[in-house]
A = this chain, B = another copy of it.
Amino acid sequence: MFLIDPLSRTPIYEQIIQQLTRLIESGVLSPGDQLPSVRALSLQLRINPNTIQKSYTELDKNGLITSVPGKGCFVSPNAQSLLRAHKRKLMPQFKDLAKELLLAGFSKDDLIQVISQIDEKEKPL
């Protein structure tokens, strides 16, 4: 269910965010569902509770989950629509950034090379 690579360049807390986001996106975790507790996930993944906490705090700030101190963390009712709204903004942001980079002196080929590198690195994921 969870695959964390402690040697990856992407921080562990971000990997956890990505994994949970996918589980919500794919519907494995539905609105209202309780997430594993900070300690439980910490034990399961053999990762320090502080690192899990950081991920949960971030997800709560983004509204994807609702943390209730003393009770637990729950998938927000509007998590799916938040994810859709987020996705809709990705491509325009990408275009703006690409435009800025081209104006900043990078060539089309520079950007393509960067993308190719990322594509290869992310493949096994």
Question: Could you list which residues of chain A lie within 8 angstroms of chain B, going by C-beta atoms?
Answer: 18, 31-32, 61-64, 66, 68, 76-78, 81-82, 85, 87-88, 90-91, 93-95, 97-104, 106, 108, 111-112, 114-116, 118-119, 122, 125
Contact = CB atoms under 8 A, between A and B. Distances in A.
A104 B83 CA distance: 10
Interface on chain A toward B: helix, strand, loop, or mixed SS? Answer: helix
A94 B77 contact: no
A68 B91 contact: no
Given A63-B31, A112-B115, A104 B90 contact: yes
A25 to B, nearest CB: 9
A102 B61 CA distance: 23
Nearest to A10: B99
